[in-house]
């Protein structure tokens, strides 16, 4: 039986060329796997047919949009996952899902090798290969672009020589990765970190400086899950899509950042994540209302570590699994409504309410009805500051 290789297929130049190249170099048949995570663009059936036309013996297309939203974006939302406190891990979330489908396809089609189109400079090679190793340790991995120094010029020449059904003349000046959670743009003139992004870079968001009326909406959460927008019931996928549309129209979610890549270099990235930023903003505020102080403080530490693990390709790791359990438990009381105003590139909370609220008006008010016993505060302050006061006295004695 001829050996088979399962290829993570995007429909672009590099992975289309990889089909024939892998077949030629290894003698194996290639099964192309494309996963729809809400990236938009070309029809997935068109991509499937292109893979077959490029020489794949099988081409699998998985509609994983709801799976991606519910099992990957939702945990990121409940964790308020922002890498370096700004980036909502757009690409990092989709990779473990794609890995899962690659491993399933390898088992189904009897393949002993998986291939991907990542370079040796980026994070994705780690996310793919570490994920594959965690789910299927016996599978081998090849990366033609990285391991055999494929350049774009070589790929174009290969495609032209074999008349592959790819438009090799249309070249975007940017490298773009996108899904329903957001869009990542790099390379080209953006590699000079002094250059400002131009409007041509953006697709998910409108120019936030253009005059327009503000958009006010209410998001309803049930145990950390967005379940309605303005009273209309939504799935997680629909919530993200609707907020991509409405927040994107207000220019919300544009991020220009020099970030720390896993491989040790710094990289300039431009992101658009209107739905993600709007949802995280609302969710964080509802947690402010419903989570007890010490739990909230500790969760913020967990959020940072969880996000680093996901960014670093360790979705399928024991620590990530354990942190998932903690985060899920924190969401038991995160139910209620948050009112957001979307305008001028910002998502701003201006109202919140919850039956699970820990906010007590009669304790917080400075007006009539105040039932906070201020007589208790004097002793509390003295005891709270006592260790610092004792240490200060010791230091003064030492100074003399």
Q: Which residues are catalytic?
A: 14, 95, 124, 175
366 a known binding residue?
A: no
202 a known binding residue?
A: no
CA 184, 185, 189 angle in degrees (round to 5)? Answer: 165
124 a known binding residue?
A: yes
281 a known binding residue?
A: no
169 a known binding residue?
A: no
8 a known binding residue?
A: yes
CB distance 188 to 100 below 8 Å = no
314 a known binding residue?
A: no
16 a known binding residue?
A: yes
**Environment class of residue 299 by beta-carbon count within 10 Å: exposed (0-12), middle (13-18) or buried (19+)?**
buried
12 a known binding residue?
A: yes
Nearest-angstrom CA–CA distance, 98 and 330: 28
311 a known binding residue?
A: no
254 a known binding residue?
A: no
27 a known binding residue?
A: no
Q: How many CB atoms lie within 10 A of CB 54?
A: 24
388 a known binding residue?
A: no
182 a known binding residue?
A: no
Q: How many CB atoms lie within 10 A of CB 361?
A: 11
CB distance 203 to 183 below 8 Å = yes
Binding site for ATP, by residue number, is 8-16, 117
Binding site, by residue number, is 8-16, 87, 117, 119, 123-124, 127, 175, 259, 271
Binding site for L-citrulline, by residue number, is 87, 123, 127, 175, 259, 271
Binding site for L-aspartate, by residue number, is 119, 123-124
């Amino acid at each position: 039986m001829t050996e088979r290789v399962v290829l993570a297929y995007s429909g672009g130049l590099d992975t289309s060329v990889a089909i024939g190249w892998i077949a030629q170099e290894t003698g194996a048949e290639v099964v192309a796997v494309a996963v729809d995570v809400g990236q938009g663009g070309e029809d997935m059936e068109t991509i499937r047919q292109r893979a077959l036309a490029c020489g794949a013996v099988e081409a699998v297309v998985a509609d994983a949009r709801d799976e991606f939203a519910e099992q990957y974006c939702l945990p990121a939302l409940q964790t308020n996952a922002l890498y370096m406190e700004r980036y909502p891990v757009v690409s990092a979330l989709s990779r473990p899902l794609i890995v899962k489908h690659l491993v399933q396809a390898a088992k189904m089609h009897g393949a002993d090798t998986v291939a991907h189109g990542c370079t040796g400079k980026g994070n994705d090679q780690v996310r793919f290969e570490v994920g594959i190793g965690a789910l299927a340790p016996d599978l081998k991995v090849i990366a033609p672009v990285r391991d055999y120094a494929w350049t774009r010029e070589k790929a174009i020449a290969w495609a032209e020589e074999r008349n592959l059904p790819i438009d090799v003349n249309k070249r975007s000046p940017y490298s773009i990765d996108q899904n329903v959670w957001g869009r990542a743009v790099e390379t080209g003139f953006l590699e000079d970190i002094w250059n400002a992004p131009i409007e041509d870079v953006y697709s998910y968001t409108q120019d936030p400086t253009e005059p327009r009326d503000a958009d006010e909406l209410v998001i309803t959460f049930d145990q950390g899950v967005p379940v309605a927008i303005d009273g209309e019931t939504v799935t997680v996928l629909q919530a993200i899509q609707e907020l991509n549309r409405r927040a994107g129209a207000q220019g919300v979610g544009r991020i220009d950042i020099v970030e720390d890549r896993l491989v040790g270099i710094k990289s300039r990235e431009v992101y658009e994540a209107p739905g993600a930023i709007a949802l995280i903003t609302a969710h964080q505020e509802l947690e402010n209302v419903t989570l007890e102080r010490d739990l909230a403080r500790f969760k913020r530490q967990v959020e940072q570590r969880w996000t680093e693990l996901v960014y670093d390709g360790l979705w399928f790791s024991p620590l990530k699994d354990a942190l998932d359990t903690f985060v899920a438990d924190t969401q038991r009381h995160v139910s209620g409504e948050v009112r957001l105003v979307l305008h001028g590139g910002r998502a701003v909370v201006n109202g919140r309410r919850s039956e699970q609220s820990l906010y007590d008006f009669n304790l917080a008010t400075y007006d009539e009805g105040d039932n906070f016993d201020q007589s208790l505060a004097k002793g509390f302050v003295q005891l709270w500051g006592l260790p610092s006061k004792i240490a200060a006295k010791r230091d003064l004695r030492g100074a003399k």
